[in-house]
């Protein structure tokens, strides 16, 4: 409420009380008029009863009224207008009252200035056969009560209004002062540059509405910052958890919740052990001598790198934990190590035997020409195997680096037929029967890759087959099937045959100049071209490879 409305409110209060006052005054006036009317009628009744008209005896009237100063009683002769009786001895003898008496006779109360009493009077005239009786009372008498009420009423009314105004002003000022203090605080909070120390009502209103807008903007800003922060936190591919010093979870992102298959409400405020068996994490936190520590931990077959940070936020000490799934990196690292160990081992053994043979020849320990020829054949075979290993390793590294190759439209049927004829010697040696059920089938690919893919599978079917074995090659409906009835692969070896250098039977592989990298190359080509590869094998019965092209 401002000052204007305070004044308006007071004005309304005044008008209301004034109206009530006026109504009360008029009610009192009406009542006192009625009272005086009743009195006049009553006095006239008494005069009529006391006056003996027949004998013109007004002694009883006189007895009753001659001492009444306030009541005037006059009896008039109706035929000549002479005053028969008047309780005021000073009445004017000369005044002609007949007309007045005739005019007002039995017509109710009327007002008239009395020349006798020099005052305004209320009169009532009653006719009594040939005479008239008039009773009158002082108007001032009637009005006195009303005047008193009006006077004291007005004074009380004004006093009441003044008190009301002062009280409401004090109340208003007290509230406004409190409000001002709060608004100044609010203003300095939302607008630190503000130097306002005092306001009028309009300023107060403006400041409040400005503060409202500012607060609203700031709330929206905070909201959007919070949303942004939550969005980022929930979309990073790292787990993020914040603990208090009692290890209770006070913040956790979606990634972390998904890993432990929990939802926010389930874990919020609970100890970290409620999320998972965090003994290792807690040990690490307890052993922290600096504000940062990192360690690796395996959880449900995945390896995570944990980073613990001791942080202070708003004077509260907290523990922030960030963890990343490093399973793939770790596995790649392990694979790399294994690969180098295997590769060096694979190359070392043929080299050792080559060097050994050459030393025997050099030292003259082996002199026999036939033996030397035999050793030369062996070292040549080992060298070819070494060369094959190196070529296969190069091939694998090319495939891994996704080197861009020339893509051609290739008929798989023709490539398969070429592979069969290039293996003709071995097929004949082992007397293997090949059934080729091939339809023309075209794909867009690098010739080199497709040739490698198919020849590795077909040569394995020949190499790991028995004498007089059989191979069925089918090319239809987007797929290539190579089915042999060879030695087969044991169930436990089957998942590992695509690993680098993995060979079920090392000596047999060596015999075939196998490198142990053929199927690793096959797997890589399929990965690069999104081909699907399946193996079915029964140990001792045979193996079927199926490749489904896109
Ligand atoms: P390798 O150079 O030794 O042939 P591969 O990677 O081509 O290496 O094959 C891995 C291993 O899988 C082989 O050593 C062999 O033990 C097994 N293998 C592959 N193909 C067949 C098959 N058709 N029948 C039986 N065993 C097979």
Task: Give the least confident one: 5-19, 417-431, 462-476.
Answer: 5-19
Number of C-beta neighbours around residue 450 at 10 A: 21
Is the separation of the CB atoms in 132 and 105 below 8 Å? Answer: yes
Q: How far apart are CA 232 and CA 431, in angstroms?
A: 66
Where are the extended beta strands (E) located within 78-217?
83-86, 109-114, 119-128, 131-138
Q: Write the pLDDT tens digit of every residue in 277-305.
A: 999 999 999 998 888 999 999 998 899 99
Residue count (the chain): 550
In whole angstroms, give the CA distance from residue 53 to residue 51.
6
* pLDDT for 531 beyond 90: yes
- Contact between 415 and 451 (Cβ < 8 Å): yes
Mean pLDDT across 221-230 = 91
pLDDT confidence tier of residue 66, bands split at 50, 70 and 90: confident
Give 87's DSSP letter. Answer: S
pLDDT in tens, 108-159: 889 888 888 888 888 999 988 788 999 998 887 666 767 777 788 778 888 8
The pLDDT score that the predictor gives to residue 42 is: 92
Nearest to 252 by CA among 296, 312, 318: 318
Structure tokens at 44: 């006239």
| Mean per-residue pLDDT, 16-33 | 82
Give kind and range of the element (H or E) at residue 313. Answer: strand 302-313
Q: What is the pLDDT of residue 260?
A: 93
Percentage of the chain beyond pLDDT 90 is 49
**Ligand 1 close to Cβ of residue 519 (< 6 A):** yes
Pocket test residue of 492, 519, 534 for ligand 1, highest count of atoms within 8 A of CB: 519
Would you state the pLDDT for residue 495? 93
Q: Give the integer Cα–Cα distance in Å for 277 and 267.
A: 14
Is 456 near ligand 1, meaning CB less than 6 Å away?
yes
* Helices and strands (H and E) in the chain: how many: 15, 17
Find out whether 139 and 121 touch, Cβ atoms under 8 Å.
yes
Tell me which of 460, 462, 471, 505 to substitute to probe ligand 1's pocket, judged by most ligand atoms within 8 Å of the beta carbon. 460
Could you tell me the pLDDT band of residue 198, with boundaries at 50, 70 and 90? low
Q: Does domain 236-325 have CATH number 3.30.70.1140?
A: no
Domain 4-145 has CATH 3.30.450.20: yes
Q: What is the CATH number of domain 330-401?
A: 1.10.287.130
Q: Is 461 in the pocket of ligand 1 (CB under 6 A)?
A: yes
High-pLDDT (> 70) share of the chain, %: 97
In the predicted structure, residue 27 carries a pLDDT above the cut 90: no
Residue nearest to atom 4 of ligand 1 (CA): 514
Which atom of ligand 1 is the closest one to the Cα of 502? Answer: 10
Are the C-beta atoms of residues 439 and 453 closer than 8 Å to each other? no
Q: Residue 487 pLDDT > 80, yes or no?
A: yes
Matching CATH topology for 330-401 and 408-548?
no
Task: State whether the beta carbon of 542 lies less than 6 angstroms from ligand 1.
Answer: no
Answer for the pair 402, 396: CB distance below 8 angstroms, yes or no: no
- Which CATH code for domain 408-548? 3.30.565.10
DSSP string covering 486-514, please?
Answer: SS---TTTGGGTTSTT--SSHHHHHHTT-
Q: Is it the case that residue 417 has pLDDT exceeding 70?
A: yes
| pLDDT at position 261 | 93
Helix (H) or strand (E) run with residue 443 in it: strand 442-445
Q: What pLDDT score does 3 carry?
A: 67
Nearest to 130 by CA among 51, 46, 38, 37: 51
State the chain's mean pLDDT as an integer: 89
CA of 440: how far to CAs of 413, 417, 437, 475, 548, in Å? 5, 11, 10, 8, 15
Between 329 and 94, whose confidence is greater?
329
Question: Residue 522 has what pLDDT?
Answer: 97
Could you give the 3-state DSSP secondary structure of residue 76?
strand
Contact 81, 100 (CB under 8 A): no
Alpha-carbon distance of 208 to 212, in angstroms, equals 6
Question: What does the pLDDT look like over 231-258, one tens digit per residue?
Answer: 999 999 999 999 999 999 999 999 999 9
Q: What is the pLDDT of residues 175-195, one digit of tens each?
A: 888 888 888 888 777 777 766
Give the pLDDT of residue 223: 93
Which pair of structure tokens corresponds to residue 307? 């980073």
Lookup result for tokens 């523990």: 319
Q: Give which of 526, 409, 416 is closest to 476, Cα–Cα.
A: 416
Mean per-residue pLDDT, 79-104: 84
Phi-psi region of 125 (alpha: psi -120 to 50; beta: other; left: phi over 0): beta
- Ligand 1, residue 519: give the atom nearest the CA: 6
What pLDDT score does 31 carry?
82
Where do the structural domains in the chain lie, given as residue ranges? 4-145, 236-325, 330-401, 408-548
């Amino acid at each position: 409420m401002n000052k204007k409305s305070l004044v308006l409110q007071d004005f309304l209060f005044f008008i209301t009380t004034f109206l009530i006052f006026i109504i009360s005054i008029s009610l009192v006036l009406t009542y006192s008029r009625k009272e005086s009317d009743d009195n006049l009628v009553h006095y006239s009744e008494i005069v009529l009863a006391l006056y003996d008209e027949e004998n013109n005896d007004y002694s009883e009237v006189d007895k009753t009224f001659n001492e009444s100063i306030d009541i005037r009683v006059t009896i008039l002769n109706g035929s000549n207008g002479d005053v028969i009786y008047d309780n005021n001895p000073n009445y004017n003898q000369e005044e002609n009252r007949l007309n007045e008496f005739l005019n007002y006779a039995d017509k109710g109360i009327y007002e008239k200035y009395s020349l006798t009493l020099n005052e305004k009077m209320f009169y009532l005239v009653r006719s009594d056969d040939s005479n008239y009786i008039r009773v009158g009372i002082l108007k001032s008498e009637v009005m006195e009560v009303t005047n008193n009420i009006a006077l004291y009423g007005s004074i009380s009314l004004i006093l009441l209004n003044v008190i009301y105004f002062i009280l409401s002003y004090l109340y208003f000022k007290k509230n406004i002062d409190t409000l001002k203090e709060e608004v100044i605080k609010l203003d300095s909070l939302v607008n630190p540059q503000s130097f306002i120390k005092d306001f009028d009502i309009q300023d107060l209103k403006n400041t409040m509405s400005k503060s409202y807008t500012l607060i609203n903007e700031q709330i929206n800003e905070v909201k959007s910052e919070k949303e942004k922060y939550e969005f980022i936190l929930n979309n990073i591919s790292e787990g993020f958890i914040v603990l208090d010093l009692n290890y209770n979870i006070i913040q956790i992102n979606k990634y972390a919740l998904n890993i432990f298959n929990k939802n926010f409400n389930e874990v919020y405020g609970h100890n970290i052990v409620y999320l998972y068996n965090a003994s290792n994490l807690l040990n690490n936190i307890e052993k922290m001598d600096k504000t940062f520590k990192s360690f690796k931990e395996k959880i449900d077959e995945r390896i995570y790198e944990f980073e613990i940070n001791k942080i202070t936020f708003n004077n509260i000490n907290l523990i922030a934990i960030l963890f990343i799934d490093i399973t793939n990196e770790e596995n790649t690292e392990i694979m790399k190590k294994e690969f180098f160990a295997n590769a060096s081992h694979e190359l070392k053994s043929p080299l050792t035997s080559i060097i050994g043979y050459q030393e025997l020849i050099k030292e003259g320990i082996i002199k026999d020409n036939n033996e030397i020829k035999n050793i030369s054949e062996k070292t040549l075979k080992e060298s070819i195997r070494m060369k094959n290993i190196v070529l296969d390793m190069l091939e694998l590294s090319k495939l891994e680096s996704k080197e861009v190759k020339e893509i051609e439209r290739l008929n798989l049927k023709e490539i398969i037929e070429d592979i069969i004829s290039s293996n003709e010697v071995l097929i004949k040696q082992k007397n293997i029967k090949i059934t080729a059920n091939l339809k023309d089938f075209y794909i867009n690919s690098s010739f080199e890759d497709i040739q490698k893919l198919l020849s590795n599978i077909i040569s394995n079917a020949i190499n790991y087959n028995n004498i007089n074995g059989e191979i069925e090659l089918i090319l239809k409906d987007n797929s290539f099937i190579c089915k042999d009835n060879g030695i087969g692969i044991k169930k436990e070896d089957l998942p590992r045959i695509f690993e680098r250098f993995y060979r079920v039977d090392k000596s047999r592989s060596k015999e075939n100049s196998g490198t142990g990298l053929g199927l690793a190359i096959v797997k890589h080509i399929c990965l690069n071209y999104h081909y699907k590869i399946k193996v079915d094998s029964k140990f001792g019965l045979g193996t079927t490879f199926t490749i489904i092209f896109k």
